Structure 1
Amino acid sequence: MTVIAHPPRAVLPLNYFGIPLGLAGLGGAWSAARQYLGAPGLPAEILYVAAALLWAGFTAVYAVGTVRSRGSLRAAVRHPLSGPLTAFVPVVAILLIVHYGPLLGGAARALLYVAVGALALLAAVLVAHWLDGSLERDELHTGYFLPVVAGSFVASIGFTGLGEHRAAVAAFGIGIYFWLTLGAVLFGRLVVGGALPPPARPMLAILLTPPGVASIAWFAATGGAVDGIQLALGGVMFLMVLVQLVHLPGYLRVPFGLQHWTFTFPLAILGNDGVRWAGALHFGGWRPAAWALLAVVTALIGAIALRTLGGALPGGLGERRAPSPG
């Protein structure tokens, strides 16, 4: 396994943004539960407030550090490990704008377009850099899905929330394109590139994110319909869940650290999508099944949060040399 140079030193390592991303994702799952199961709104609001405060604080710290260290943002974007993680900032922003849209009123549309525009510009810079041929195979990791795949599907959800159906479908199409093209490259890397080192193993959970976020985006665009596209996405999601269950023994052997927050967004997406599928299919016992899934997902993310609050979280990847996560 190739060992790559650590990302440019920053006041705050970019992978800390995985914390508000996971909390906002879980807030989305509870919002789905409020819609389909009549769940109370308080859990979602608490999670979104926590995500918003952390995102704002982390963004301020990172922005100040970037201003003080000239060229650090450019270096971070071009770095094979941290480059895709720079998309954390606009992606979390989009999730927050979607949730707080009713409170923001007319400003929500403008803020969403600013956030999506920033994500699109960042994605264009990243893709152009990737196409320069400067990346090594061992430097690729599943975090590359964030800016162009997950980010595109999240943007689609945001556009649907504003009634921009054409823009939502366009963003969905971008996500599908890069899921197929980039996914093939990353999957080949994972299959033939050797086993991941234990600290990087949680990044395999990100394989749940593309089908899950795509499914949620399509549910939003179609008003919860189960059509051919949704069935195809559900099939992929089901297989990826089985793959994660097979990897569970390996996950349990990973020492606790910041990398465990990698699990939180995929878990939250699983809960969100699962609640929507249960509500759409209305099979016998769908409500207890949906509640059980939501409870499991919440408990797992809550356990990670409690361990973090207990002081068990070490420094981020920006503070030490790290093996390539994929």
Structure 2
Amino acid sequence: MSTRTARPTTGITPNLFGISYGLSGLANCWGYAAVLGLAPRLVADVLFIIGGVVWLVLMAGYLPAVPRRPGGWRAELADPVMAPFVSLIPIVGMLMSIGLMPHALTAGRWLFGVSAAVTIVLAGWLSGQWIVGELDRDRLHPGYVLPAVAGGLIAAIGAALAGWPGAARTFFGFGLVAWLLIGSVILARLYFRPPLPPALQPTLAIDVAPPALAGLAYLSVTHGRIDAVAFTLAGYTLLAALVQVRLVGLYRHLHFAAGFWAFAFPYAAVATFVLHWINYAHPPGYRVWDWIVLLAITAFVAALAAGTVLAIARHRFLPRPS
């Protein structure tokens, strides 16, 4: 077992990009609601703008600071806890491009292409780093699915919307296989090793994202086809969501911190996937169910935002210098 520890960090850390990641996930949920005719596109656009501003502000504070830290970028990408979250920078770029494409297709395609390329390269680098870096399995956490799994599946959705079906299928395979491989390792760690430390326990919410993202990616690649694969991914999403219900007792004992934004995007992805199924099944009062899902995820993210503002006002949100 490796005895290497995570290096001390100050100021903006890569997990803070979970804020823009979560806001973008909520924006995409409202974007699909606009497609269904539930709400005006303006709501999604405003959320994308807010998420984009947060993304840019965080990059302005984070990117110039990393070279001044001990070890620079090489050490940042080797950090056993924070390294996976670095991938959120280009992943959020892909989500921003999804919001831009309906208004400016060419610009959206360019932003998506650059962000997807950086995401895939970074996923490959980090996967290689975990092979050669003497990774301690007890430091493994669900955030390790972000670079290749979330990155690949979101890239599949973006490529499909950009009108690039071949790239969409390739990215879907990239993310799906990565999920089967990396996800199984993480699950084994959670089952058979000591519990995650409290600071990392919010990352357990990330486990609900891969099946929902895989379902959304599959629907994007197949233009909404509902078949055995779609039902399988829906079933797995249901299981993952029920696991989250069981973990509520664990989450209730945690103190609010930046890590709580790990809940936002996964739950928004599930909400978006649920909207797809509601509008496929058309249960009685399905429009009411649409609004219940949409308002519930919006209220949840709004609560995270309110907690963040309060924590910042009390100087308890950003990591303190180690």
- In structure 2, the partner of 1:124 is 124
Please name the residue that 1:324 is paired with.
none
8 Å CA contact 1:8, 1:318 repeated in 2: no
Q: Does the CA contact (< 8 Å) of 1:15 and 1:316 recur in 2?
A: no
Indicate the residue corresponding to 1:139 in structure 2: 139
Residues 62-141 of structure 1 aligned to structure 2 (within 5 Å):
62-69=62-69, 71-132=71-132, 134-141=134-141
Q: Normalization by structure 1: what TM-score?
A: 0.92
Aligned to 1:57: 57
Q: What is aligned with 1:323?
A: none
Q: Which residue of structure 1 lines up, in the alignment, with residue 210 of structure 2?
A: 210
Aligned: 1:285 with 2:285 = yes
Distance 1:317 1:280, change over 3 A: farther
Q: Which residue of structure 1 lines up, in the alignment, with residue 273 of structure 2?
A: 273
Please give the alpha-carbon distance, in whole angstroms, between the structure 2 residues aligned to 1:225 and 1:34.
Answer: 20
Q: 1:227 to 1:319 in 2, by over 3 A?
A: farther
Q: Does the aligned pair in 1 maintain the 2:97–2:111 contact within 8 Å?
A: yes
- Higher RCO (CA < 8 A, seq sep 6+): 1
For 1:201, the equivalent position in structure 2 comes to: 201
Shift of 1:11: 4.2
Is the 1:137–1:189 contact (alpha carbons within 8 Å) kept by the matching residues of 2? Answer: yes
Structure 1 residue runs of 5 or longer lacking an equivalent are: 321-326
| Structure 2 residue 316 is the aligned partner of structure 1 residue 314 | yes
Judging changes above 3 Å, is the alpha-carbon distance between structure 1 residues 218 and 152 closer, same or farther for their aligned structure 2 residues? same
Percent of pairs identical after alignment?
32
Task: State the Cα deviation string for residues 167-196 of structure 1 (Å, max 9, x = none).
Answer: 101101111111111111100000011222
* Distance in 2 between residues matched to 1:131 and 1:317, nearest whole Å: 29
Aligned amino acid, residue 278 of structure 2: A
Read off the aligned partner of 1:263 and give its amino acid letter.
F
Deviations 1:22-66 (A, max 9, x none): 000000111111112421223212211110001011112212213
- Report the 3-state secondary structure (helix = DSSP H, G, I; strand = E; otherwise coil) of the residue aligned with 2:36: helix
**2-structure distance, mates of 1:186, 1:315:** 28
Cα drift, residue 313 of structure 1: 6.7
Mapping for residues 183-202 of structure 1, pairs under 5 Å: 183-202=183-202
Work out whether residues 208 and 270 of structure 1, in 8 Å CA contact, stay in contact via their aligned partners in 2: yes
In 2, distance between residues paired with 1:266 and 1:106? 28
* Contact preservation (8 Å) 1:258, 1:316: yes
- SS state at 1:92 partner: helix
Aligned-pair distance for 1:103? Answer: 3.3
Q: Which runs of 5+ in 2 are unaligned?
A: none
RMSD (Å) for aligned C-alpha atoms: 1.9
Any idea what SS the aligned residue of 1:73 has? helix
Cα distance in structure 2, aligned partners of 1:67 and 1:42: 39
